[in-house]
């Protein structure tokens, strides 16, 4: 054995050809700061064993503020669509205020989701290709510019306003989409193995505060305009019920989404590249160690790296991660193909239900009478009432669900929480749908709202959070961002189906009761049954997912590792693919 063969080393990405094996042995004979001779294992060990530090909380806020903006921008539009209909599509119908035509409503609600899907795929791939931090600031720039531009239009002609709105909301969604894979992967690669789930979940939980903020800002703006510009109800005066100043309300609400994104831009561009990515993918161990020392501190970096190494059994000292197979290789399909199918399918099914509920909760709550009929309110009053309902649901159900997940995800595991969430969403959805006529009675409306809110709670204490967390943990570093982007894009495909499909499906079977321009649908009752079946499918598919709780990212992703046995002779051992 060589004099260096007893030195503990750690994972590297190396090829399987004879020339690469020869090069690896030469590197072991002449140590330098690489993964092969132990230069990089300090980076992995230090992060796997590091304690929670102020940097972790800063990273949660910096990455999470992107999700705050994401949720604000995506969900604030549902508060404005009724107002847009009154302003730009007034028809003079005494029983029903103006509303967006079906094609316009579908475009306004769904165009940002289409942009998000494209952004998730593009920035997910780019995050693996050029680096996570390298492109991280660009997503925020797009959010700031397009949030402001969403509230601008050259004229007040309906077609021009809707075209401008849809154009900028597509590119807003494109920037939002980039935040999904980048934020998840960055947080996963900075976190330790014991609390990684809570850190990633905390980033995603900022989405709940974004939903809450969209309701609160809408409440404040509409309350201010309602007080300043009082107007009669639509049924009393169709024209005067929509004051000209109402045109500023939706613009202010949408443009405010730029504020939180702009406030965190400086800190985002100052974040270092995750050292794990720099070491494993870019093979720049020296830079990875420097960046790790900035995050953890020079002294703590050395201490925690040594502690993790001491706790690893001697016969399992890592020497190198092998085989740089790509996303479309047979090796990836064999090891991770089923996992990618599971992460994409469960996210797809979840978002059909989740976005249907969120984007159209105003229609459901109006149908059961919790929000008054539109004709009994003026334009600004309607925005106020819808905002109040969304704010109450976010405060009482949506946000608590996120934070219960944070508290329990590293205790009971990701898959368990996902199974609980899908199961309870299925139960409550059927409990709402089957006796739907019972819930429509005036005395039972509060019970309906409570049950409806519980579906939001178990979405967030459940698959809405875990479908975001798991793809950031179970794939190899070199394709981690890409696979997360693919999983997230599949979710947005489900969201698009939810946004477009529910709009039509939930229409009444009676043509005289449908919204203007819509064909008869299957009714809200049957639409809720369909969502219940969707959640049930998600429950059964979730059993396929691996459980990353308590594992390092390398263990969770099942990467091939070469170990140095006690005799000091290098030997390749393949970790089994995650179950």
pTM over 0.85, yes/no:
no
User: Is residue 334 classed exposed, middle or buried when 0-12, 13-18 and 19+ CB atoms within 10 A define those classes?
Assistant: exposed
Indicate whether 471 belongs to any domain.
yes
CA distance 114 to 171: 9
Indicate whether 66 belongs to any domain.
yes
> Dihedral of CA 476/477/478/481: which sign?
positive
Indicate whether 529 belongs to any domain.
yes
Strand partners, 317: 564
Indicate whether 29 belongs to any domain.
no
Cβ–Cβ contacts within 10 Å for residue 487, how many? 31
Q: Where are the alpha helices (DSSP H) in 32-135?
A: 41-49, 54-88, 102-129
Cβ–Cβ contacts within 10 Å for residue 70, how many? 29
Q: Which of 47, 400, 387, 85 is nearest to 224 (CA)?
A: 387
Indicate whether 253 belongs to any domain.
yes
CB contact at 8 A, 131 and 282: yes
Indicate whether 17 belongs to any domain.
no
Give SS3 for 317: strand
For residue 453, give both structure tokens: 């809110």
Cβ–Cβ contacts within 10 Å for residue 152, how many? 13
Indicate whether 71 belongs to any domain.
yes
User: Which residue is associated with the tokens 């639509």?
Assistant: 234
CA distance 504 to 108: 15
Beta strand spans in 270-394 (E)? 317-321
The CATH number of residue 98's host domain is 1.20.1250.20
Indicate whether 316 belongs to any domain.
no
Looking at residue 414, its pLDDT comes to 95
- The pLDDT tens digits for 488-547 are 999 999 998 887 777 777 777 777 777 777 788 787 788 888 899 999 999 999 999 999
Positions in the chain whose pLDDT score sits under 70 = 1-43, 45, 47, 49-50, 297-324, 358-369, 559-579
CA distance 334 to 579: 12
CA distance 445 to 441: 7
- Looking at the structure of the chain, the number of domains it has is 1
DSSP 262-286: HHHHHHHHHSPPPHHHHHHTS--HH
Looking at residue 23, its pLDDT comes to 52
> CA-based angle 348:349:355, to the nearest 5?
85
Q: Which of 455, 575, 481, 505 is nearest to 188 (CA)?
A: 481
Looking at residue 33, its pLDDT comes to 47
Looking at residue 563, its pLDDT comes to 41
User: Which residue is associated with the tokens 């991660």?
Assistant: 321
Strand partners, 574: none
CA distance 448 to 437: 11
Structural domain that includes position 348: 49-272+338-555
């Amino acid at each position: 054995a060589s004099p260096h063969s007893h030195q503990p080393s750690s994972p590297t990405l190396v090829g399987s050809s004879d020339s690469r094996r020869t090069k690896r042995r030469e590197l072991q004979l002449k140590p330098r700061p690489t993964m092969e001779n132990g230069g990089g294992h300090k980076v992995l060990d230090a992060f796997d064993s590091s304690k929670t530090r102020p940097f972790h909380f800063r990273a949660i806020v910096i990455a999470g503020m992107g999700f705050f903006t994401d949720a604000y921008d995506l969900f604030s539009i549902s508060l404005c669509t009724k107002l847009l209909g009154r302003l730009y599509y007034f028809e003079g119908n005494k029983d029903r205020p103006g509303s967006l035509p079906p094609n316009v409503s579908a475009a306004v609600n769904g165009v940002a989701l289409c942009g998000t899907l494209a952004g998730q795929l593009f920035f997910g791939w780019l995050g693996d290709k050029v680096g996570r931090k390298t492109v991280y600031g660009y997503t925020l720039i797009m959010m700031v510019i397009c949030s402001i531009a969403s509230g601008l239009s050259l004229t007040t002609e309906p077609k021009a306003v809707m075209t401008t709105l849809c154009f900028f909301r597509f590119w807003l969604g494109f920037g939002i989409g980039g935040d999904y894979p980048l934020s998840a992967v960055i947080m996963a690669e900075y976190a330790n193995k014991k609390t990684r789930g809570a850190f990633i979940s905390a980033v995603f939980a900022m989405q709940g505060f974004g939903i809450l903020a969209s309701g609160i800002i809408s409440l404040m703006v509409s309350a201010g305009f309602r007080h300043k510009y009082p107007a009669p109800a639509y049924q009393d005066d169709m024209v005067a019920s929509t004051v000209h100043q109402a045109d500023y309300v939706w613009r202010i609400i949408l443009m405010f989404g730029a504020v939180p994104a702009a406030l965190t831009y400086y800190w985002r561009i100052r974040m270092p590249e995750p050292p794990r990515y720099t070491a494993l993918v870019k093979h720049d161990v020296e830079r990875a160690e420097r960046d790790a020392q900035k995050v953890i501190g020079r002294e703590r970096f050395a201490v925690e790296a040594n502690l993790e190494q001491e706790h690893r059994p001697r016969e399992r000292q890592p020497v190198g991660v092998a085989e740089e197979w790509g996303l479309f290789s047979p090796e990836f399909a064999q090891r991770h193909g089923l996992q990618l199918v599971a992460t994409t399918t469960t996210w797809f099914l979840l978002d059909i239900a989740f976005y249907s509920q969120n984007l159209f909760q105003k229609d459901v709550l109006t149908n059961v009478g919790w929000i008054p009929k539109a004709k009994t309110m003026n334009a600004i009053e309607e925005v106020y009432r819808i905002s109040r309902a969304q704010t109450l649901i976010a405060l009482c159900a949506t946000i608590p669900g996120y934070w219960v997940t944070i508290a329990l995800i590293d205790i009971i595991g990701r898959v368990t929480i996902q199974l609980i969430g899908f199961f309870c969403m299925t139960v409550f959805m059927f409990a709402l749908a089957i006796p739907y006529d019972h819930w429509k009675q005036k005395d039972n409306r509060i019970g309906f709202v409570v049950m409806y809110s519980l579906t939001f709670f178990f979405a967030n204490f459940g698959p809405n959070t875990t479908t975001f967390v798991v793809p950031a943990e179970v794939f190899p570093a070199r394709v981690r961002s890409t696979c997360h982007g693919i999983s997230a894009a599949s979710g947005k495909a489900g969201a698009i189906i939810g946004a477009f499909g529910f709009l039509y499906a939930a229409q009444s079977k009676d043509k005289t009761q449908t919204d203007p321009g819509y064909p008869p649908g299957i009714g809200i009752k049957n639409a809720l049954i369909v969502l219940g079946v969707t959640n049930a499918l998600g429950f059964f598919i979730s059993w396929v997912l691996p459980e990353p709780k308590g594992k390092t990212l390398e263990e969770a992703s099942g990467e091939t590792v070469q170990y140095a046995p006690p005799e000091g002779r290098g030997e390749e051992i393949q970790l089994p693919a995650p179950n």
